[in-house]
Chains A and B, each alone.
Chain A
Amino acid sequence: MAAFPSVEWFDDVRNIFNNEESFRGGGGGQCNCVAGIKVGNEIFVLTFEGFECAGARTASLRDLDEVDFYLDMEIHEWQAMIENIRQNGHAGLGYTLNTLDLDRAERLATSVHGDQYREDLFFRYNQTLQYFFDASSRIATEFAR
């Protein structure tokens, strides 16, 4: 059982996401962006290329300068989202990425560079990003408290 957050956890999700045909249709499809994931103080970088999430790695705060956008939540917020996805098989109405982005005083999706064009990739690839996290419903997750 992979622990969240870790590269192993993202790799497990990648493995499901990259091999699931249904994620390539229904508003999903090719996605080309580099997304940061900030879980409290821990940072990861996901690279999406074509139909796949090509890689996940640990990163530093400075690496966030380079990503197109990053998703920033505290561990308990990530946990609530992942547990909801696990329960429903996909994000429930209160836990979609768009909803979480709206519900937070500080947005979920943000960037260091402030480049509108790159920040908007969050919306352009929203369904693919949602499918990626929805894929986590198929793995068991352990949370580091």
Chain B
Amino acid sequence: MVKAVKAAAKAVKSPHAETVRKAVAAPMLEVPEPKLTWMNKSRQWGVRVKPGKKGLTLGSLNVGIYGEIPMDWPDQTRNPRGAIGRKGMPPVGYMLRSKSQVWADSAADLYEEAIQRRWAPATDVPWNTVKPLPDDLERAVCQVNTELSQYANVEIEVISAWQHQMVYGYHEVKQYLATAGFDAARHYEVFRKRALINGGGLGLEGPGQVNRMILESRGGWTEAVVYLVLVRGLLTQTILRYLERYASNEAESFIYRNVLQDKARLMTYGLDHLKFAIAHNEDQKQIVATLLAIGDGLFIRDFNDPVLREALAIIFGGSIDGARGAGMDVYHDMMRAYISTHLEYCQWLDVPRRVPERLEQYAPQD
């Protein structure tokens, strides 16, 4: 290095030559002896996790001190769990620092599952099976896909708005939610593609009362999960199941089936998290019940909007004529399935729940 600088100083007759000569004379360019003191900094050394039948999974890394996941995580830096924090790091200002605010035991598995079971709308969907449909049916399919893509967009915004508020102590949840956001992006993409592939186009924007309710839920992530999973998520899941049942072609069947699968992971996370939150917070059960009761009003406003109902009935009935009879019957079946599963989930969570009067027609008779 020093030789090179000397050579340069001789060779170059530049205005900087004097500066270079001074630099060579002074010790300022010498490389200091490495101290390597960081090499002894580890809270637990000698860890050797072996890949199992499922590979080297995120959950399998939770061994020794790396598997210690405390109920509270006061560290507000980006220090990865298990690493030694530096002194004097300014806080990032995470809002969610308690395990009961974010945790689900299934998060690490769901993360792996999402990575494993990904699919690509561009190439995996058998788009060649989409054939021209009667105009009324195509318009209905496009309208439903428009609203579903809007739902997916809301999901992306809600998840990303809360994810960065979570401390790094519960990285499994942050990582899983990163995949959930990506899933939602894929859903936005695939519904848009279905709307635009067959001579139709996007339809009318949905009424959006529930969207606003989820987006503007400021109480905490758990509170957002109540709306995102127990209300919107379950309704979307039920709609997808019926859309798969009444798909016009293999492409739609594949789309709805695979979105359903992705959605099932978010449902699992949500239920698992709510169960955990309820088990660790005395008031949480009642808070969930209250939120659901408040949400009913906005849900009913969306429900009263005829657009989605009519479009779904046309798909289920195969045409406008079919919608008037069989289509609406299937729509009512779908709503009964939604309310019934919603009540099952609430019962599983031990959350008291009363079906609002406007929706009583869909409540199980027993």
A contacts, CB < 8 Å to B:
25-30, 32, 49-50, 93, 96, 98-99, 101-103, 116-117, 120, 123-128, 130
Contact = CB atoms under 8 A, between A and B. Distances in A.
Contacts of A96: 244, 253, 257
B33 interface: no
A28 B257 CA distance: 11
A29 B257 contact: no
A114 to B, nearest CB: 8
Given A27-B254, A130-B257, 4 more contacts: A25-B119, A26-B258, A99-B244, A123-B263
Given A29-B116, A30-B116, A117-B268, A124 B261 contact: yes
Contacts of B344: 116
Interface string B25-60: 000000000000000000000000000011100000
Contacts, number: 83
B270 to A, nearest CB: 11
A127 B113 contact: no
B314 interface: no
A27 B261 contact: yes
A98 B113 contact: no
B245 A99 contact: yes
A25 B123 CA distance: 11
Contacts of A27: 117-119, 124, 254, 257-258, 261
A80 B197 CA distance: 33
13 contacts: A26-B119, A27-B124, A29-B113, A30-B112, A30-B117, A116-B271, A116-B348, A117-B268, A120-B267, A120-B271, A123-B267, A125-B261, A130-B257
B362 interface: no
B354 to A, nearest CB: 20
Nearest to B105: A117
A49 B244 CA distance: 27
Contacts of A29: 113, 116-118
A6 B107 CA distance: 37
B247 interface: yes
Contacts of B118: 27, 29
A137 to B, nearest CB: 14
B257 A127 contact: yes
Interface residues on B, range: 35 or more
Interface of B: 53-55, 106, 112-113, 116-119, 124, 237, 241-242, 244-245, 247, 249-250, 253-254, 257-258, 260-261, 263-265, 267-268, 271-272, 337, 344-345, 348
Nearest to A125: B261
Contacts of B244: 96, 98-99
A30 B118 CA distance: 11
B53 A50 contact: yes
A127 B237 CA distance: 15
B124 A25 contact: yes
Contacts of A50: 53-55
B335 to A, nearest CB: 14
A127 B253 contact: no
Given A27-B261, A116-B348, A124 B268 contact: yes
A26 B271 CA distance: 26
B257 A124 contact: no
Given A120-B267, A124-B261, A102 B117 contact: no
A102 B245 contact: yes
A117 B271 contact: yes
A30 B115 CA distance: 10
Contact of B257 (A32, A98, A116, A117): A98
B53 A126 contact: no
Given A116-B348, A120-B268, A93 B113 contact: no
B343 to A, nearest CB: 12
B349 to A, nearest CB: 9
Nearest to B125: A26
A127 B240 CA distance: 14
Contact of A30 (B54, B124, B258, B267): B54
Given A103-B245, A124-B261, A130-B257, A28 B53 contact: no
A123 B260 contact: yes
A47 to B, nearest CB: 12
Given A116-B345, A127-B257, A102 B242 contact: yes
Nearest to B256: A98
A127 B116 CA distance: 12
A140 to B, nearest CB: 24
Contacts of A25: 119, 124
A-B interface, 7 closest residue pairs, ranked by CB to CB distance from nearest = A123-B264, A29-B116, A29-B117, A27-B119, A27-B258, A26-B124, A124-B264
Nearest to A52: B53
